């Protein structure tokens, strides 16, 4: 009788990861990397969240992060922010040595992303664009969808990092394709917010209980994550971000400018952008993007939750 073999458990080896950008999305994403047992080196211009500061190594600048970590992640608001952190004074590029991996998880221009990738690869390093979808809830629950552009080898190397933060992880294609996928995602999200807002506003103005209408719609073909999460926000009037209108406007600008260069017509996207602009005109740049409903409410002189007078 052969001796019983002792069971072994495979564990993901600890990685030295840098993280730059600890905002609404970045802070919980970084937290999951710490929970997964990775060594984390962080830098942010604002205050490091207490739950991160207590477990991460706080660096003095982006150069410091890049020189100490093997895989460097960025999660920043816009294309110029990423460009500055990558290539500005004491930026990531100045701290890189051959063999490191840079992953940008921001939502930025696909065209600029391809240029960034070429510059990083010229230094003997790998580059992935890996924007995310799922919002603050997805970031906190580690259920983000991650859309990746870059080489298959770099993608496989990054998988343990992605798996700590998300569930639906897809290599879409080469450099820039992850960002292209994210722009498409933002078109669909904006138009779905518009549809949910119009549907609930119509129901409320017609005298039906919008909360009950939403509940009923959740069981049919109209169901969606937007109806579930943002429909509830519209009914309960909870418009703290979340995902700010100003950031969604930035993404739709990318969609519309790219569409123009490609000779595409995106009329519904243009309408959604105008509704966001109306919110901004009323001081709503920092509102959650579900607050698009308020632009429709102002045009209709009626608010979801209000009792119809006739």
List active site positions. Answer: 182
Neighbours of 4 (CB within 10 A): 6
Record the tokens describing residue 81, joined without a space. Answer: 């922010």
What whole-number distance in Å separates Cα of residue 141 and Cα of residue 192?
Answer: 23
What whole-number distance in Å separates Cα of residue 278 and Cα of residue 94?
Answer: 42
Q: Which residues make Cβ contacts (< 8 Å) with residue 245, sequence separation at least 6? A: 276, 279, 280, 284, 285, 286, 287, 288, 289, 291, 292
Neighbours of 203 (CB within 10 A): 19
Sign of the torsion angle spanned by Cα atoms 264, 266, 270, 272? negative
Q: Which residues make Cβ contacts (< 8 Å) with residue 175, sequence separation at least 6? A: 113, 114, 117, 118, 127, 129, 149, 150
What whole-number distance in Å separates Cα of residue 216 and Cα of residue 62?
Answer: 49
């Amino acid at each position: 009788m052969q001796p019983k073999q002792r069971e072994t458990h495979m564990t993901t080896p600890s990685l030295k990861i840098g993280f730059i950008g600890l905002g609404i999305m970045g802070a919980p994403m970084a937290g999951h990397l710490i929970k997964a047992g990775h060594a984390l080196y962080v830098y942010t211009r604002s205050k490091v969240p207490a739950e991160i500061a207590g477990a991460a190594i706080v660096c003095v600048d982006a150069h410091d992060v890049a020189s100490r970590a093997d895989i460097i992640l960025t999660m920043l608001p816009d294309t110029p922010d990423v460009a500055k952190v990558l290539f500005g004074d004491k930026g990531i590029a100045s701290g890189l040595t051959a063999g490191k991996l840079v992953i940008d998880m921001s939502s930025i221009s696909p065209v600029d992303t391809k240029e960034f990738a070429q510059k990083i690869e010229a230094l003997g390093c790998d580059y992935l664009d890996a924007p995310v979808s799922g919002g603050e809830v997805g970031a906190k629950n580690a259920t983000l969808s991650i859309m990746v552009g870059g080489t298959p080898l770099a993608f496989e190397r990054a998988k343990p990092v992605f798996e700590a933060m998300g569930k639906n992880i897809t290599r879409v294609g080469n450099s820039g394709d992850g960002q292209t996928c994210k722009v498409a995602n933002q078109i669909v999200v904006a138009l779905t917010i518009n549809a949910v807002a119009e549907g609930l506003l119509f129901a409320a103005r017609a005298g039906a209980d919008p909360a009950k209408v939403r509940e009923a719609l959740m069981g049919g073909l109209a169901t969606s994550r937007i109806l579930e999460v943002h429909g509830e926000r519209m009914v309960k009037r909870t418009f703290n971000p979340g995902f700010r209108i100003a950031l969604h406007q930035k993404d739709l600008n990318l969609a519309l400018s790219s569409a123009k260069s490609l000779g595409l017509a995106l009329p519904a996207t243009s309408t959604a952008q105008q509704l966001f602009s109306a919110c901004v005109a009323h001081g709503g740049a920092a509102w959650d993007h579900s607050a698009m409903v308020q632009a429709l409410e102002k045009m209709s002189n009626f608010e979801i939750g209000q009792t119809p007078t006739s």
